[in-house]
Structure 1
Amino acid sequence: MNQAAPHSIEAEQGVLGSMLISPREKIAECVEKIGEEYFYVPAHRTIYSVLVDLWNAGKPIDIITSTQELRDRDLLESVGGAGFVTSLFTFVPTSANVEYYIDIVREKRALREVEAAARECLQRVSQRPPDIAKTLSFAAGRFAAIEHNSKNGSVDTEAKKKWGDALNESVVTAVELHDLKLAPREKLLGDWFSEGDCGFLFAARGTGKTWLALAMAQALSTGGKLGDWKAPAPVKVLYVDGEMPPDLMRDRCDGLEARTDNLQFLNHEILFERTGKVLNIADSEAQRAITARCMNTGVKVVILDNLSTLASGMKENEADSWELVNPWLLDLRRRKVAVVIVHHAGRSGEMRGTSKREDSVFWIIALDDAKKNADDKRGTRFVTRFTKASRNTQEEIPPYEWHLVTNNANGKVSISHEQTQTQEVFMQLITDGVTDCADLAEEMKVSKGAISKWAKKMMDAGRLKKTNRKRYELNDDSERG
């Protein structure tokens, strides 16, 4: 006999009734602590979502407006009709106890998640042979996430402490910091990418940003390799795609053999077709939903492809606009969820938009087009170079040239790579329009003296010349030869 999952119909209806009785005060409180996914009964989830939508739109909320909104969306009958909505208004005599109802709803949801995690653990250990290490790692991460979610925002939790008390408990001396037991951040890919990182991939249109991001996702989700970069263990990846048609993304996944349950996709077209929603990562509600998804499913890496299509209402060149997204990215870091942001380069070759975006990130990778000067022009070819060195290693990460080719017969994608000579990267920058010695030094993270040495070698070889304005440019005679 199957037992129903933990839930409380009365507490869920108590929350909804409180929202209807005192919408202005109580909906704000509810939104801070629970979302529609906390409700067990589908009709309750629907009504909660509609009430929050009305509240976000600044519309009046009462029995008439909420009932009409449900009717306009063709949802009224599915939630139990107008009579059920009216019963919610009279279900509780006052909204004063909404905090208590919220706690019950949160607790029941946490119990459901514990049951789901336990079933997953049993399924894993029943496999032959069982992978005990991976099962224990999954269990530790999953139950830690459940514990965090069950406490975060609850009315009787640490989050309700006053700031003075919080500081008194959290400030440590240098001696205490030395002796503090800290869990080291796990490496995700190579030595340069660790959990909780936030980094950028950027390039001009059509260079291969999505190919690289998807190849990284494949390596991360399978515990595989991408060139010389090894993923120590498979992790769950959420790939948020704001641009690609789903059929093309599927072809690329199949070509890279990225068929694994560890790799999840949130595609903009599928989202719109199924829900009518358009994702905007600058919207706090969408941010909370993505964070909840990560915590509930154990996602360790989120890939946002790309910033221009996923973030609406942000002015690229205004630093203040970045604050619509930056607090959310920092929150994900504190939760040890890494984020890879795919972005465009401007006409100058630099990453487009305000430089404030670069302040808090761990690394930045630029992709330079290597196809135009190659003999083999099949597929995608680019050079990766770090324009902001990774904080995770003191070792210099060399530039690599990558070549991805799709086999027309079977759709499989081959990836080849080789370490690129630094001088060739230097020449590529000049080709892209970075011609001043100081700018070249800053771009390549070397001294101006090193730039001068490389330039002299290229000029001696007849590949480069210096203008009267002390800038470098390609030697046209050499190019024609």
Structure 2
Amino acid sequence: MSYIPHPKGGKAAKPASAAQTPANPDLSDSGSPVSRHIRERALSLSEILVLRLPPDIELLGRLILAGTLGLLYGMRGGGKSLLAMIIAYAIAGRKFVTPWGQGSGDAVCYLDGEMRIHGFQERLEQLHAFNTDEESKSAVREKLWIVSRHLIGDLVGTLDTEEGQKSIEAYFPPKMRFLIIDNLSAWTSGGGEDLHGWQAVKTWLIQLRLRGIAVLLIHHAGKGGGQRGTSAHEDLVDYSIEVSPMFLEDEPEATAFRVEHKKLRDQLPHLKSPYSFRIRTADGAMRFSAEAVILDSQKQLDLVVSLHEQGLKGKEIAKASGLSEATVSRRLKEHRESRPETPN
């Protein structure tokens, strides 16, 4: 993990304007046959259907792709930041996290605007201690970058002003593909909850998307349980995740929460089920696990079949769903037996 100092004696680097930013850098920079004259006009359906596009760049399974925007929200103290750290670590360290999938090993920048650096450092140490893969540990040391407002000792900037955006962008590490903003309230002058302030943030997020940078916004839930402030927050994002605290009678000292995907722009059937996360610390290491919250056998069957139809095998389905291999085997057997026999 690395901390990024501000450039000494220099001005913050100016981010590319909408005019300077390619309409789709992945298309223009990857040798794609998509030419500029096609990008700068409306296309007919016949053109769209034959258009050759570069494949999506997966950062964490099929949920977090390069250029996607996500929202993770929940009540105070409910586990939002812990979950965001796990996601950041998995992407930087090429680790698998249920239910999302494999991390890519790309550079990640974590903007922390609230925590004391001592507590933040302790969490990262515990998370790092749980990783037994030396190659992964070596990668994450170089690819996970931290911008701590407490450590810097300055406000740094806010996301709802152009000046603040320039100041914050000066901290971005080279070749960064994933940015976590923890949290929207801490990094905006008005808490990021009113529509006017959100418009400035929204424009900046679109610029990052056009540069191929994925962003995960951390936000507080309101009294009703939904994300706090204007509903426009969820209009732009590709996915939103609600985190709800849970109490475990068998392990009351553990941090536990329920994760539900409230919005999924892409077709990801296995994420329609809620998942329960359990995080505990032992011997200086943060240990965590996740499993699908399946209310009945039919939902288990639907989940297993969905993953099977995506090409996953038994062990892979168990890993992605949080179900045991025995349960996966039973459900696959039920699925095979329920299909009508093909006549000879």
TM-score scaled to structure 1, two decimals?
Answer: 0.51
Contact 2:157 2:163 in 1 (8 A): no
Letter matched to residue 201 of structure 1: L
Q: 2:180 aligns with which of 300, 303, 319?
A: 303
Match of 1:363 in 2: 239
How many correspondences in the alignment?
A: 265
Between the aligned residues of both structures, percent identity stands at: 28
The SS at the match of 2:236 is: coil
**Residues 1:419 and 2:292 aligned together:** yes
Match of 1:380 in 2: 255
Distance, in Å, in 2 between the alignment partners of 1:400 and 1:315 is 28
Letter matched to residue 306 of structure 1: N
Contact 1:191 1:393 in 2 (8 A): no
CA RMSD, aligned part only? Answer: 3.0
Q: 2:95 aligns with which of 224, 235, 246?
A: 224
Distance, in Å, in 2 between the alignment partners of 1:181 and 1:309 is 41
Distance, in Å, in 2 between the alignment partners of 1:315 and 1:239 is 18
What's the offset of the Cα at 1:254? 1.0
Q: Given the superposition, is the C-alpha separation of residues 404 and 351 from structure 1 closer, same or farther in structure 2, using an over 3 Å criterion?
A: same
Match of 1:341 in 2: 217
Match of 1:23 in 2: none
Match of 2:160 in 1: 282
Alignment deviations for residues 408-446 of structure 1 (CA, whole Å, 9 cap, x no partner)? xx31011122211248xxxxxxxxxxxxxxxxxxxxxxx
The SS at the match of 1:261 is: helix
What's the offset of the Cα at 1:230? 2.2
**Residues 1:233 and 2:104 aligned together:** yes
Q: 1:209 aligns with which of 80, 83, 88?
A: 80
Distance, in Å, in 1 between the alignment partners of 2:85 and 2:123 is 8
Letter matched to residue 383 of structure 1: R
Q: Given the superposition, is the C-alpha separation of residues 167 and 181 from structure 1 closer, same or farther in structure 2, using an over 3 Å criterion?
A: closer
TM-score scaled to structure 2, two decimals?
Answer: 0.69
Alignment deviations for residues 104-127 of structure 1 (CA, whole Å, 9 cap, x no partner)? xx9xxxxxxxxxxxxxxxxxxxxx
Distance, in Å, in 2 between the alignment partners of 1:393 and 1:194 is 13
Distance, in Å, in 2 between the alignment partners of 1:277 and 1:319 is 23
What's the offset of the Cα at 1:242? 0.4
> Of Structure 1 and Structure 2, which has the larger fraction of its residues in strand?
2
Distance, in Å, in 2 between the alignment partners of 1:345 and 1:253 is 25
Distance, in Å, in 2 between the alignment partners of 1:393 and 1:187 is 15
Distance, in Å, in 1 between the alignment partners of 2:240 and 2:220 is 12
Kindly indicate whether structure 1 or structure 2 has the higher relative contact order, using CA contacts under 8 Å at least 6 residues apart.
2
The SS at the match of 1:320 is: helix
What's the offset of the Cα at 1:287? 1.6
Distance, in Å, in 2 between the alignment partners of 1:405 and 1:152 is 47
Q: Which runs of 5+ in 2 are unaligned?
A: 1-5, 22-35, 129-136, 297-344
What's the offset of the Cα at 1:291? 4.1
Distance, in Å, in 2 between the alignment partners of 1:231 and 1:279 is 33
Match of 2:146 in 1: 265
Letter matched to residue 284 of structure 1: E
Distance, in Å, in 2 between the alignment partners of 1:291 and 1:174 is 38
Q: Given the superposition, is the C-alpha separation of residues 368 and 232 from structure 1 closer, same or farther in structure 2, using an over 3 Å criterion?
A: closer
The SS at the match of 1:188 is: strand
What's the offset of the Cα at 1:180? 2.6
What's the offset of the Cα at 1:293? 4.9
Alignment deviations for residues 212-265 of structure 1 (CA, whole Å, 9 cap, x no partner)? 000001101011012243225211110000011111111111111175210000
Contact 2:156 2:168 in 1 (8 A): no
Q: Given the superposition, is the C-alpha separation of residues 375 and 236 from structure 1 closer, same or farther in structure 2, using an over 3 Å criterion?
A: same
Distance, in Å, in 2 between the alignment partners of 1:358 and 1:169 is 28
Distance, in Å, in 2 between the alignment partners of 1:231 and 1:286 is 33
Letter matched to residue 274 of structure 2: P
What's the offset of the Cα at 1:315? 6.0
The SS at the match of 1:176 is: helix
Contact 1:202 1:365 in 2 (8 A): yes
Alignment deviations for residues 188-235 of structure 1 (CA, whole Å, 9 cap, x no partner)? 212222111111111111110010000001101011012243225211
Q: 2:267 aligns with which of 368, 385, 393?
A: 393
Q: Given the superposition, is the C-alpha separation of residues 183 and 205 from structure 1 closer, same or farther in structure 2, using an over 3 Å criterion?
A: same
What's the offset of the Cα at 1:292? 5.5
